[in-house]
Structure 1
Amino acid sequence: MWLGVLLALVLGLAVYYWFTARDKEERLPLGDGWWGPGAPPSDTEDQSIRPFKVETSDDEINDLHQRIDRFRWTAPLEDSRFHYGFNSSYLKKVLSYWRNDFDWRKQVELLNQYPHFKTTIEGLDIHFIHVKPAQVPSGRSPEPLMMVHGWPGSFYEFYKIIPLLTDPGSHGLGDQQVFEVICPSIPGYGFSQASSKKGLDSVATARIFYKLMRRLGFQSFYIQGGDWGSLICTNMAQMAPSHVKGLHLNMALVLRNFQTLSLLLGRRFGRFLGFTDRDMELLFPVKEKVFYSIMRESGYLHIQATKPDTVGSALNDSPVGLAAYILEKFSTWTDSSFRDLEDGGLERKFTLDELLTNIMLYWTTGSIVSSQRFYKENMGQGLMAHKHERMKVFVPTGFAAFPSELLHLPEKWVRAKYPRLLSYSYMAAGGHFAAFEEPRLLAQDIRKFVAMVGRQ
């Protein structure tokens, strides 16, 4: 009897969502904003695009070294590995490398291998890199592609994937599909100016980045993102669907009541609910794969969505604290099993040079506080508090499901928000920092998706 009642409940909920949550083609209003200090100027905003170069100095490097030298060390608990956070014994190794072997000047040269620019939008100097292909096949044009990072990442996450997109022929990917790649820094991250006013959220950022693409002369373009980048790109698609040729994501914020019910019933009725065998592997047992995972990894989120300036003040004053706080995410967000390793598995997917370069982009710009405020602006009023979170997306969409992402999203869940889902891929390897960890796999999936859009 209970089985019949359960099935009737599921059927009733399915009917309810059919009639109440069917596709409604809504758009986010474009609007406008001003985020610079004081009141907006009476004259027209400067729309010039200015070359920018990453630089450093002896004073900057000496100050960093002095702060590292003054670090006060705390011994870890025996056999704690990464279960208590960043293991301080391994931190000693990282700091020794950072202090004695890491060459920031060399990394600055590497950062400058791609063209950097700034332009002023809504009162903020917005930083971006813009990489054009050196060669384009005869009779073809490069596809413009904006790639947007998240926290605690940066535009640097895309340095390994850019050549696979702009010069694919040299990397064995074929040369018939070439991209022109634009990677902006979210306002308040890295070299993009931070807002002076409350309220700069993902929608405002999406509008700024849409204006950036139009200022660069693109009438239509592709967009790609994970983490905050996935939400910003989603908002761009909701705001200007006629200009977004396609949206590719490796993470999505998909909040629906039926997901909770699916997780409760999925172990027994997974196939009835649309779960594949791979979905079952990645979602169950729910207690370990979902509940414990979210609880273990979301403490930072509660802090940054409520009082980001408090912890930010400490991190902005201590390069060691900043490194431990951020690098811990590159351990367990890359693979949750890495918490069982003494070194957090950090060097299995990344080099210390790569990891510390990302840290230096936060340290040298003093942007950790403003980057954390993005959580407050987007989540300070609670989940589902914004209209866009309940809106669907009606541009062609591709989704790459990386197996070690913090929460797996089955195709059915993704399609509920993105009805025009053309491509859903179970990726062979990788976690949260897809472009940084598995650039070739992500590049291949982007190319597959764009080819599908082109055949429509």
Structure 2
Amino acid sequence: MPPKKKGSKAKDVKETPKNVSNEKTSNFSGCKIASALITLALAVLFYKFYNTYLITPELPKFDLDVWWGPSNNASQDKSIRPFKILFTDSMQENLRRKFEAERRATATKSLEETSRFGMNSDVVGQLFAHWRFKYKYGRRASELNKLNHYKTNVQGMDIHFIRVKPENTKNVKVLPILLLHGWPSSVRDFYDMIPLLTTPRPNYDFVFEVIAPSLPGFTYSQGSRKPGLTTYQMAIILRNLMERIGHKQFYVHGGDVGHIVGSHMATLFRDQVLGFHSTTPINLSKLAHLTLMLGSICPKCVANDLADKIYPYSDKLKFYLEESGYLHLQSTKPDTLGIVLQDSPLGLAVYIIEKYLLFTNPANKYAQDGGLNSFNQTDLLDNVLMYWNTGSITSSLRLFKEFVNNYEMEETLSRIPTSVATWGLRTKNDIIQQPDFILRWKYPNLIGTTNLDDGGHFAAFEKPAEVSDDIFKAVKSFLVKIK
């Protein structure tokens, strides 16, 4: 290595003013880029949030005459035909053979004296014995035919409906009301309500003419021969049914799936639906669900008097996850599940009735009888027989897959407010509870709500007097609002 020259110094790296300036400029440029990226990301997130949760979509246009039958039949029979419910000898003989096979089968005893693993085997035995020895088919058919049944072809499907007009109409107006059931229920849910709605009562200057259809694909109404028949399509079909009967304007009551169909009717046909009453008063929009989730931070701030029914949200979510497995099955493989259920009448009964017991009161799964003894078993079996006799469990299950397949449109309709006068009846043990301010996002003309101290999800079946009283009270308020 050559010696250093005299006076020379080793070159050290030094921060000159120029270097510092360049570094500051570089850091500043990096901050600007990072800030721009963060701002862009926030803008994208806000736009997505706004577009997903806040913006009100335009009301879609639908074909009101979609043909759901096997072919485009120009000679559609539009007549309204009387109909009778029949429990035929061949059906009863088929049931006897099935029952004998099920009686001989080896039964698996439940693990505990509860229904936490599903319906308790002792409860199943009790139900099976009642069906075999106490259910009188001829007597039940006569009872079910006390109301007037009809069928008419709407958009390629024979739609079944009950129609009952009031007998004493002196000094009262007759208002048409459409009653919409859910799943796994049927028009059987309304049998105790209909006489109450069609009988004039003091302090009311109106009474109802009741039209209670079987939803398309449910029990005595035909199902579609092609995919796409979801809840908003059912809303169109049932509106067309009401026009076929002769009612351009009418009131609507619904619960469970019937609430969704009725809500769509109020959204799509707001000039025809005079008022909407629901025993499942919920807003199905994403914003409603998000608000309830965030409300866990301060339940009283969001839910007020309903806080103990909605929160802790984690407990409600746990219950929903545990008890909603059937929804996943029905929204993915409805036909496979339908074959299994239609093969066993007792299996079908257990599958359907368990929903009534559990959703009437979640605590029933911890009871020894599962809640069965709080119901009239014959009434429960009437509903099961309607599905079994028509072989319609599969077509009813398809609605859940159709709902998922058409969820984008379902979500769009849930975000479009309807001006139709609305009233909600909440029961103590219903699956989903929402405060009034959330309901008003969807139903800005929410006239009122009623909160019952008991009752569950199938309110029309369980509490017919209370639901009928509430419908009268709601419609009276609707009429006052119009005046």
Tell me, yes or no, whether TM beats 0.5: yes
Equivalents in 2 of 1:64, 1:19: separation in Å?
A: 50
Letter in 1 for 2:73: P
Whether 1:404 and 2:429 are equivalent positions in the alignment is yes
Whether 1:236 and 2:268 are equivalent positions in the alignment is no
- Greater share of helix: 2
Tell me the equivalent position of 2:30: none
TM superposition shift of 1:392 = 2.0
Single out whichever of 27-36 and 85-94 deviates more from structure 2: 27-36
- Counterpart contact for 1:28–1:235, Cα < 8 Å: no
- Alignment partner for residue 160 of structure 1, among 177, 192, 199? 192
Q: How many residues matched?
A: 434
TM superposition shift of 1:271 = 3.9
Within 5 A, what are the aligned runs for 1:164-183? 164-169=196-201, 176-183=205-212
Equivalents in 2 of 1:18, 1:311: separation in Å?
A: 37
Larger Cα-atom Rg = 2
Whether 1:53 and 2:80 are equivalent positions in the alignment is no
TM-score relative to the length of structure 1 = 0.90
TM-score relative to the length of structure 2 = 0.85
Give 3-state SS (helix, strand or coil) of 2:176's partner.
Answer: strand
Single out whichever of 24-33 and 249-258 deviates more from structure 2: 24-33
Whether 1:309 and 2:340 are equivalent positions in the alignment is no
Tell me the equivalent position of 2:137: 104
Equivalents in 2 of 1:109, 1:28: separation in Å?
A: 44
Whether 1:285 and 2:285 are equivalent positions in the alignment is no
Letter in 1 for 2:166: P
Whether 1:449 and 2:481 are equivalent positions in the alignment is no
Whether 1:146 and 2:178 are equivalent positions in the alignment is yes
Give 3-state SS (helix, strand or coil) of 2:437's partner.
Answer: helix
C-alpha deviations, 1:224-247, integer Å up to 9, x for none? 101110111111111211011001
Give 3-state SS (helix, strand or coil) of 1:99's partner.
Answer: helix
Give 3-state SS (helix, strand or coil) of 1:398's partner.
Answer: strand
Within 5 A, what are the aligned runs for 1:59-74? 59-71=90-102, 72-74=105-107
Tell me the equivalent position of 1:41: 73
Give 3-state SS (helix, strand or coil) of 1:182's partner.
Answer: strand
Check 1:433–1:383 CA distance in 2 against 1; reply closer, same or farther (3 A cut): farther
Tell me the equivalent position of 1:426: 451
Check 1:207–1:263 CA distance in 2 against 1; reply closer, same or farther (3 A cut): closer
- Counterpart contact for 1:167–1:175, Cα < 8 Å: no
- Counterpart contact for 1:137–1:175, Cα < 8 Å: no
- Counterpart contact for 1:29–1:239, Cα < 8 Å: no
- Counterpart contact for 2:158–2:222, Cα < 8 Å: yes
TM superposition shift of 1:296 = 2.0
Task: Give 4+ residue runs of structure 1 displaced > 6 Å after superposition.
Answer: 16-20, 22-25
Tell me the equivalent position of 1:255: 284
Tell me the equivalent position of 1:393: 418
- Alignment partner for residue 294 of structure 1, among 320, 343, 348? 320
- Counterpart contact for 1:422–1:452, Cα < 8 Å: yes
Gaps (5+ residues) in structure 1? 1-12
TM superposition shift of 1:74 = 2.9
Give 3-state SS (helix, strand or coil) of 2:173's partner.
Answer: coil
Check 1:301–1:264 CA distance in 2 against 1; reply closer, same or farther (3 A cut): closer
Q: CA RMSD in A?
A: 2.3
Equivalents in 2 of 1:341, 1:18: separation in Å?
A: 46
Equivalents in 2 of 1:444, 1:153: separation in Å?
A: 21
TM superposition shift of 1:168 = 4.4
Matched-pair identity in %? 36
Tell me the equivalent position of 2:238: 209
Equivalents in 1 of 2:461, 2:119: separation in Å?
A: 20
Letter in 2 for 1:55: L
Whether 1:186 and 2:215 are equivalent positions in the alignment is yes
Tell me the equivalent position of 2:7: none
- Alignment partner for residue 118 of structure 1, among 151, 158, 166? 151
Letter in 1 for 2:194: I
TM superposition shift of 1:18 = 12
Whether 1:417 and 2:449 are equivalent positions in the alignment is no
Whether 1:221 and 2:246 are equivalent positions in the alignment is no
- Counterpart contact for 1:333–1:404, Cα < 8 Å: yes
Equivalents in 2 of 1:207, 1:25: separation in Å?
A: 18
Equivalents in 2 of 1:385, 1:187: separation in Å?
A: 18
- Alignment partner for residue 328 of structure 1, among 354, 359, 363? 354
